[in-house]
Amino acid sequence: MTALTIPRLAEMKAQREPIVMVTAYDYPSARAAERAGVDMILVGDSGAQVVLGQESTVAVTTDEMLVLARAVRRGAASPLVVCDVPFGSTELSDEQAVATAMRFVKEAGADAVKLEGGGPERLSRIRAITAAGIPVVGHIGLTPQTATALGGLRAQGRTSSTATRVAREALAVEAAGAIALVVEAVPTPVVDAFLPELAIPVIGIGAGPADGQVLVLHDLLGITEGRTAKFVKRFASVGVETVAGIAAYAAEVRSGAFPADEHQYGASDEAVEAARA
């Protein structure tokens, strides 16, 4: 199978075929996403939290993200693989941003990179990376890398001033050359107000149906512990299943039920005798 192409993505929007995107961080999760038939995989910097156990996405490095991205690419040939460029890897200059994006393409085989924000500097980065021949996916609304400046992890665009900002940024990100746009935690009516103005697909997360959806894999599988955001739906209980599986293994080791005969190797009497010597 060939990779889902960017023109095909635009066609899906035109034909109102919902685009399915999910995050993945390693080989087995990428294999599972591909086998489940998703259109796009995001190697999200949410991996900082869900697989590396960090407090936020801010500390994760490009080298760490590249390890995850390479594993995902090995596991998924046909979905479009989009990699988050981490906080600090694009902020200094357009040149830094292009160099970082290029690493994800050359070292990990990314099809596109995702960049948070829609302010003037961010638009300049999107233009520069696009001009270098690397497709960019935008990300506006709640942008976790700069959440502190937004007043925390909260919905954006609920007031008229922030709704104006979100709508303007959506149009500006498209004009800068992005091939798709993730909109996170924005009221559905606000998204619906600017959606008809956009030619590129809008992938929502807490932003209504839009042109498609993205969710963090560990959230939708029920691996994430504790409270999750309002926009998360759990579609499975993999966390509970995982603990139950490990606990069953531990119990059988302790009781002596595992390993059973069928999990053990046999040997000739001569081999056993020789082992005594």
Annotated binding site for 3-methyl-2-oxobutanoate: 45-46, 84, 114
Structure tokens at 134: 């690397």
Q: Please list, in sequence order, all residues whose beta carbon lies within 8 angstroms of the beta carbon of residue 153, skipping any fewer than 6 positions away.
A: 142, 144, 147, 185, 229
Q: How far apart are CA 206 and CA 215, in angstroms?
A: 9
What is the dihedral sign for C-alpha 259, 265, 271, 274? negative
Using CB distances below 5 to 8 A depending on partner kind, what does residue 216 bind out of ligand KIV, Na ion, none?
Answer: ligand KIV
The residue annotated as part of the active site, out of 34, 169, 174, 184, is: 184
Q: Does 216 bind ligand KIV (CB under 6 A)?
A: yes
- CA torsion, ordered 156, 162, 165, 166, to nearest 10 deg: 30
> In this structure, are residues 57 and 144 in contact, taking their beta carbons and an 8 Å threshold?
yes
Least separation in angstroms between CB 145 and ligand KIV: 9
What is the dihedral sign for C-alpha 248, 254, 256, 262? positive
Using CB distances below 5 to 8 A depending on partner kind, what does residue 205 bind out of ligand KIV, Na ion, none?
Answer: ligand KIV
Using CB distances below 5 to 8 A depending on partner kind, what does residue 182 bind out of ligand KIV, Na ion, none?
Answer: ligand KIV
Q: How far apart are CA 95 and CA 123, in angstroms?
A: 14
Q: Does 205 bind ligand KIV (CB under 6 A)?
A: yes
Question: Which residue ranges are tagged as binding site?
Answer: 45-46, 84, 114, 116
Q: Which stretch binds ligand KIV (CB under 6 A): 27-35, 39-47, 98-106, 192-200?
A: 39-47
> Catalytic: 184?
yes
The only residue of 68, 181, 202, 214 in contact with ligand KIV, by rule CB under 6 A = 214
The only residue of 12, 23, 82, 201 in contact with ligand KIV, by rule CB under 6 A = 23
Q: Does 45 bind Na ion (CB under 5 A)?
A: yes
Using CB distances below 5 to 8 A depending on partner kind, what does residue 140 bind out of ligand KIV, Na ion, none?
Answer: none
The only residue of 26, 34, 39, 84 in contact with ligand KIV, by rule CB under 6 A = 84
> In this structure, are residues 76 and 34 in contact, taking their beta carbons and an 8 Å threshold?
yes
Least separation in angstroms between CB 57 and Na ion: 6
Residue 72 belongs to what H/E stretch? Answer: helix 62-75
Q: How far apart are CA 209 and CA 246, in angstroms?
A: 37
The catalytic residue positions are 184
